Chain A
Amino acid sequence: MTDAIDTKALIAHAKNIRRTIVEMIYRAKCSHIGCSLSAADILTALYFGVLRLDPLNPNDPNRDRLIMSKGHGVAALYATLAERGFFARDELDLYGTDGTRLANHVVRNALPGMETSNGSGGHGLSLGIGMAIAVRNAGNGARVFVVSGDGELEEGSVWEALLFGSHHQLANVTMVVDQNGMQSEGSTETIVDIEPLADKFHAFGWDVAVINGHDFTQLIPAMRVSGSRPRVVIAKTTKGKGVSYMENKWQWHNGSPNDEQYKIAMEELL
């Protein structure tokens, strides 16, 4: 990826991705829309500004890896991979139909570019750590990115992986936390508070950056950094970002818009 950040182009990609997300979920009448919209800019930044990969050679051993640990945000991943050219966008027309391979959570190889199966929280970082050891041993310079939800950080396995990652100085791993502050039944703060998050990651020996997860001029530099320690980018995001009536409403964690709501959403995402 080149160093210049073309914000205008990134905003256009992110808009297309959000439109695809809303369309898919509206048509299929399922499923996790708010947490897909919150992750849209993170994935746009990664796939168009950070990851070194070739959509036409998705199994290249030297590729950077992206693990979508927050598997319920799969619509954002489908839409981003299509936008990046891993497959034709009309592949996504099958989403929500009987017999499709396109589940509501991430399934490895359901479409090109889908590295792992995720949907149960807290699996992604350990998978990423394993990949990071392998590519470090291979010496090919590849990096591993794990996109995690914030509610998911309630899973203990994440903290096992954090311990291991810093002990072995796996500097080629970056975990990006899509911190939209909400989980299935309400705000993370009221369910099981995970703050102070940056302090916790620091204490576990990881470098930490806290940024606005909807600002490409912050996202891309923060995720391009490759230091001497593993790294967490806490991306502060808005659940439902881009659709006014969904923003910051935990009720839109999971659900699909009705006809009227769909119309409004698509007008707002023009």
Chain B
Amino acid sequence: MRFEVVKAIYQAGLEDKRVCFISGDYGHANTEEFKRDFPGRYFNAGMSEQNIIGMAAGLALSGMKVFVYSIVPFITLRCLEQIKIDVCHHNVDVTIIGGGGGFAYANAGVTHYAIEDIAVLRALPNMKIISPSNPTEARLLMQAVIKAGGPAYVRIGRGKEPDFELEYKPEIGKAGIVRSGDDITLIASGAIVAEAIRVRDMFKEQGISVEVANMHTIKPLDGDFIRARAGTRRAIFTLEEHNIIGGLGGAVAEVLAELPQRPLFKRFGVPDRWPDVVGSQQYLRDAVGIGAREVAEKIRDFLR
């Protein structure tokens, strides 16, 4: 996804002289073009996330349109207060691109996991939170974010996500139907939508029709979609590569909890404890219970 996102920002840089790009020493070869073609508008600010966010806000307060880019935990949590005050309170056009959502930096260990970012950033007024599922969607959503402007947080993968066909045109704040179905709805967000599609395929063999919805915008949340499904589905599930507390599942639960009547509901996410092993991204998903097979088994048990 990162290549598509950086390409979209480069395109914006061509069309709009206000576009600035600040990297926290992250990006390697894929930011070279921006650096080469827009001198004075590209900065590798090194490892100084608090300064990066403050600077980005200062630029935006002076009329620039700013994109910052680093690995999720560093560019969200380390500089959280700068995001809160300098970006969100000032309500300026700064978009934070976080690479390595969820367990994308699987072998890197807990310092590099990004499984609490959404919970934390969701509580900041003015913030939009976008979590694309694959490269095509990342490109289209990034174009939409560029148009809409910040404050925004775009949580992407590491660059190895499989592409898959989308049956909808992604729109900020609107859930996308990745695969249709009418017994139950499985809502996912981010690269793990691919896992949700696998869950759906497993149920297909058993004659249960699973709708896979992609809640690529976690804030503002598509409450209308959730309310509509609450009235028509036997059960709703959420699946996210994020702590079970406060992320997509929590956000959907908040909507459902306030309805007078609701279907069965269960969240799948990373249990609230640190993984003590590392491995591939798939290994980690399976290890913490958010891999397709285990999710499918638990859904089956739950519906029984």
Contacts and interface: CB of A to CB of B under 8 A. Distances in A.
Contacts of B81: 120, 123
B64 interface: yes
A137 B90 CA distance: 22
Q: What is the interface residue range for chain B against chain A?
A: 20 to 34
Nearest to B40: A137
Most buried by A among B51, B63, B81: B51
Interface string A140-164: 0000000000000000110011011
A81 to B, nearest CB: 18
B58 A117 contact: no
B3 interface: no
Interface in B35-84: 40-41, 43, 45-46, 48, 50-64, 66, 81-82
A186 interface: no
28 contacts: A61-B63, A108-B89, A116-B90, A123-B54, A123-B86, A126-B50, A126-B55, A126-B57, A126-B58, A126-B82, A126-B86, A127-B57, A127-B86, A128-B58, A130-B61, A130-B66, A131-B59, A131-B61, A131-B62, A134-B58, A134-B64, A135-B62, A156-B50, A157-B51, A161-B54, A164-B45, A164-B48, A164-B55
A115 interface: yes
B63 A123 contact: no
A76 interface: no
A108 B50 CA distance: 19
Given A108-B90, A120-B81, A157-B50, A137 B41 contact: yes
A126 B54 contact: yes
Contacts of A17: none
Interface of A: 61, 108, 115-118, 120, 122-123, 125-138, 156-157, 160-161, 163-164, 168
A117 B50 contact: no
A134 B59 contact: yes
* Chain A binding surface, main DSSP class: helix
B51 A160 contact: yes
Contacts, number: 96
B85 interface: yes
A49 to B, nearest CB: 24
A137 B64 CA distance: 10
B297 to A, nearest CB: 47
Interface of B: 20, 40-41, 43, 45-46, 48, 50-64, 66, 81-82, 85-86, 89-90
A128 B56 CA distance: 10
Contact of A157 (B41, B64, B82): B82
A130 B63 contact: no
Contacts of A116: 61, 86, 90
Among A116, A125, A126, A157, chain B packs the most CB atoms within 10 A around the CB of A126
A44 B57 CA distance: 27
B304 to A, nearest CB: 52
B50 A127 contact: no
Most buried by A among B20, B53, B58: B58
Contacts of B46: 163-164
Contacts of B62: 61, 130-131, 134-135, 138
A257 B54 CA distance: 36
A133 B51 contact: no
Contact of A117 (B20, B52, B85): B85
A126 B59 contact: no
A129 B58 contact: yes
A130 B48 contact: no
Contacts of A138: 62
Nearest to A127: B58
B89 A161 contact: no
Contacts of A127: 54-55, 57-58, 61, 86
A134 to B, nearest CB: 3
A171 B61 CA distance: 19
A264 to B, nearest CB: 37
A126 B56 CA distance: 8
B83 to A, nearest CB: 11
